[in-house]
Every structure is written in C-alpha cells, then in structure tokens.
Amino acid sequence: MRLNPASPFVEAVLEIVEAIPPGRVMTYGDVAATLGSRAARVVGQTMAQFGADAPWWRVIRAGGHPPIGHEARALVHYRAEKTPLKPGAEPETGYRVDLSRARWRP
C-alpha cells in the first residue's frame, strides 16, 4: 500500500525518528505510542516508503531485531555510533540491539 506523504501521521513519525539521538533506538511500537496510536505496522510502512533520508536504523522491532532486509546496513551504523548490542554472536547468526540499554523515550 502507499501512504499519503502529506499525511500528518507520516509527518509526525519522521519528526520523531529524526529526534532519536545517535546510539539510541526506538521500536516501531514506541514511535506509534508516542503519537498516541497503536499502529506499529503503519510506522513500518512509513519507514519503508519515506524513511530513506532519516536515521531509519534507529527504529527497530520490539525484540531488538533490525528492520527486515536491512540488517547488514544497520549493523554498520550501530558499530559506528556504538549502539549497545546484545552480547554474543553478531555475525551471520543474527544480532540484536540491547533494548534495555539503547531504548530511548522522548
């Protein structure tokens, strides 16, 4: 589906994402909740379509997993800005962000 780029929801999502500090993250659900919504999926759709110019890697899933299909590119950023990752294997086995330390709330 295609979201309306001028939609206030889309505008608000991008505004919140751009306010996330380096080394910190929010979940899709967190972003929705900040807007008083539970539309985590719509946040995902928003990032997929309009997130290219935003720090999209700072928005992850509730389990600490980076966005599907962008794991490798996200890892580059996490290492660069020292985002806390879950101890253990980070390579092919998959990695996770340590939400307990990296989660950011506005």
In the complex with DNA, the residue whose CB is nearer, 69 or 87, is 69
For residue 6, the minimal CB distance to DNA (Å) is 8
Q: Which residues lie across from 85 on neighbouring strands? A: 97
Quickly count: other Cβ atoms within 10 Å of residue 37's Cβ. Answer: 15
- 68 lies in the binding site for DNA (CB under 7 A): yes
Which positions ≥6 away from 19 have C-beta within 8 Å?
Answer: 106
- 24 lies in the binding site for DNA (CB under 7 A): no
- 35 lies in the binding site for DNA (CB under 7 A): no
- 77 lies in the binding site for DNA (CB under 7 A): no
Q: Are 35 and 12 in contact (CB under 8 A)?
A: yes
In the complex with DNA, the residue whose CB is nearer, 34 or 45, is 45
